[in-house]
Structure 1
Amino acid sequence: MTKISQIRLIRFNADRYSNSASTSAAAVLLTAAISSHAAEYPKPIQEAVAHGVKVLKTFPAASSLTGWVLTQGADTSVVYTTPDGKTLIVGELIDENGQPLTKQYASKYVPAPDYAASYQLLERVDVIAEGSLIKPKSILYVFFDANCPYCHFTWQALQRYEDVGLQVKWVPVAVLGESSLPKAVSLMSAKDKKTAFRAMQEGFVPGKPTPAPDHVATAPTISEAIKRNGALMEKFGINGTPGIVWKDRSGKIQIKGGMPRLSELPLMTGLPEQKIDALELQKFR
């Protein structure tokens, strides 16, 4: 039998750039204490609270269900209880017209996270900057892993945009296997990081990983900085690479998890669409 403590809370973000179901959702932080009315909650919710889950909001849901926005750490979930309060429902609700309701409820009741503080931290991170370095027309921050093929494809796709005014600030993380960290440390230890990064990308062959140099033990400061980058990536609700963060023309922070479609790049960069002919990128149109 599944216990309340075993329920995995799902991250939602009501204000993301992409509405794709594959887009990772952002964390919603809750600082309020557990409600003094916890004892009045239905038994399944009381049990969840007893295991460290906090109630952020309740709302009336379809078919006389009660919706609950629950949070634990960096994760937030929308769940439901039946009218008698005895049963907890976890997952997507589908109405009679086949419309998913949980995402609608999340958009309405889960407050959009404030990424301002995280963005300020991001601006102070040691990065590898490519593209237009003097008066760029737009800037993207891209969290990448040295072993990530989709990071490589993203790098390829952005080259033409760099030619017309885009600056890309590559932020190394280590999330894809044991060799990720030593590769990242080697890259960030290089005398010319930009040249080392370009050489790595130009020599990248998907499915054929290169051996990892042993630089971790000799560069503990850089190693710890890369680990902090991973924690910062998670603060943006990104749980895989590539993860892209930028400010749109209005100054609003936007987030994209995963390899963007080529058709998304003009909106993300604020630049005219560029012709991309690479055969390996055509599947991302």
Structure 2
Amino acid sequence: MRNRTLISLMLLALPATPALAEDYPAAIEALVEQGVRIEARFDAPSGMTGYAARVQGRPLAFYVTADGEHVVVGSMLDAQGANLTPEHLEAHLPEPEYNDAWPRLEDAAWLREGAADAERVVYVFSDPNCPYCKAFWEASQAYIGPDVQVRSLPIAILHPSSMGKAARILAADDPTQAFIDHQESGSEPLARVPADIRRQVEANNQLMRELGAHATPAIFYKDTEGHVRQILGLPDDAVMETQVFQTAPAR
């Protein structure tokens, strides 16, 4: 029940998007109309058809019955209790490629914490009303410095006041300090958002969607081989240290 509820909430959070140019059975078509991105179709056991997909960046398998009228979401087990779904996803759902995202992030409207010449760069889409974004900001303070910079892209997707708050940050004489002040003590939204600032926030919103990020914070960084990676939501301490920042936090 908990997994079903989680998946339902993830689907509700997705923006409506046009279906891909594909002839899907009705059960899958309904999911596509909710924003599920189908990456591959494959033959599954017992005459079922499998679909490898991503929901908010999370890989999921959907299994459609032979009549096309019903879809099963989640893990498929064989007679011995072995979970077949990880093998299905590994075979049919390639690792997403985000390298083209890096120059687009560089050209977006962001503010920087940390040294301008810091070699380690992390981008994060942050909504002013997102508690997990605030938690990530708090955790990042132990890493930011001469070797690590974090570039935050203000977005407005969670609450009507998000636009005014994001605009207040970007319109400030010192956006970085305005961002820090907001994280430390909150802020009031601008009563009137300048048109150019609104366009910047909306462009960040659009970029986030185009990069397949449907949860906040949405974090982009480069792994040890220079490949761009994405994390949706608040990572745990170990992931922050070993993957996102790739350095030990200041103690």
TM-score tier (shorter): 0.7 to 0.9
Name the SS for the 1:254 alignment partner.
strand
Distance 2:101 2:29 in 1: 28
Equivalent-residue separation in structure 2 for 1:255 and 1:86 (angstroms): 33
Match of 2:175 among 170, 179, 193: 193
2:3 is matched with none
Query: How far apart are residue 153 of structure 1 and its match?
Result: 1.2
Query: Any unmatched runs of 5+ in structure 2?
Result: 1-7
The answer to whether the 8 Å contact 1:66/1:81 transfers is yes
CA contact (8 A) 2:59 2:89 kept: no
Change (3 A) 1:106 1:30: farther
Give distance in 2, aligned partners of 1:52 and 1:59: 17
Q: CA deviation at 1:239?
A: 1.1
Say which of 106, 112, 128 aligns to 1:129.
112
Q: Which residue of 1 aligns with 2:103?
A: 120
Does residue 147 in structure 1 map to residue 145 in structure 2?
Answer: no
Partner of 1:245: 220
- TM-score using structure 1 length: 0.68
In structure 2, relative to structure 1, the CA distance for the partners of 1:171 and 1:51 (3 Å cut) is: closer
- Residues 79, 271 of structure 1: alpha-carbon distance in 2 compared, 3 angstrom cutoff: closer
Q: Separation in 1 of the partners of 2:142 and 2:136?
A: 11
TM-score by length of 2: 0.77
Residue 145 of structure 2 corresponds to which residue in structure 1?
Answer: 163
Q: CA deviation at 1:48?
A: 5.7
Q: Is the 8 A contact 1:186 1:215 kept in 2?
A: no
Counterpart residue number, 2:185: 203
Distance 2:147 2:32 in 1: 48
Superposed CA deviations along residues 63-83 of structure 1, whole A, max 9, x for unmatched, are 443324579xx999743344x
Q: Is the 8 A contact 1:30 1:56 kept in 2?
A: no
Give the Cα–Cα distance (whole angstroms) in 1 for the partners of residues 218 and 32 of structure 2.
29
Q: Which sections of structure 1, spanning at least 5 residues, go unmatched?
A: 1-7, 12-23, 39-43, 205-209, 277-285
For the residues of structure 2 that align with 1:49 and 1:221, how far apart are their CA atoms? 38
Amino acid paired to 2:222: K
The partner residue of 1:59 within 42, 58, 75 is 42
Instruction: Between the two structures, name the one with larger relative contact order (CA 8 Å, sep ≥ 6).
Output: 1
Question: How far has the Cα of 1:147 moved from its partner?
Answer: 1.3
Given that 1:118 and 1:232 are in contact with CA atoms closer than 8 Å, whether structure 2 keeps it comes out as: no
The alignment-based identity, stated in percent, is 27
Structure 1 222/104 Cα, relative in aligned 2: closer, same or farther at 3 Å?
A: farther
- What is the Cα-based RMSD across aligned positions, in Å? 3.7
- Deviation digits for residues 19-53 of structure 1 (CA, Å, limit 9, x no counterpart): xxxxx99xxx998x54xxx6xxxxx7278679988
> In the alignment, residue 114 of structure 1 is paired with which amino acid?
E
Contact kept? 2:52, 2:60, Cα under 8 Å: yes
Instruction: Please give the alpha-carbon distance, in whole angstroms, between the structure 1 residues aligned to 2:48 and 2:146.
Output: 53
For 1:110, the aligned partner's letter is: L
Question: In the alignment, which residue of structure 1 is the partner of 2:88?
Answer: 105
Aligned residue for 2:128, secondary structure, equals coil
How many angstroms apart in 2 are the aligned matches of 1:76 and 1:132? Answer: 35
- Residues 56 and 144 of structure 1, relative CA distance in 2, 3 Å threshold: closer
Shift of residue 167 of structure 1? 0.4
TM superposition shift of 1:235: 2.2
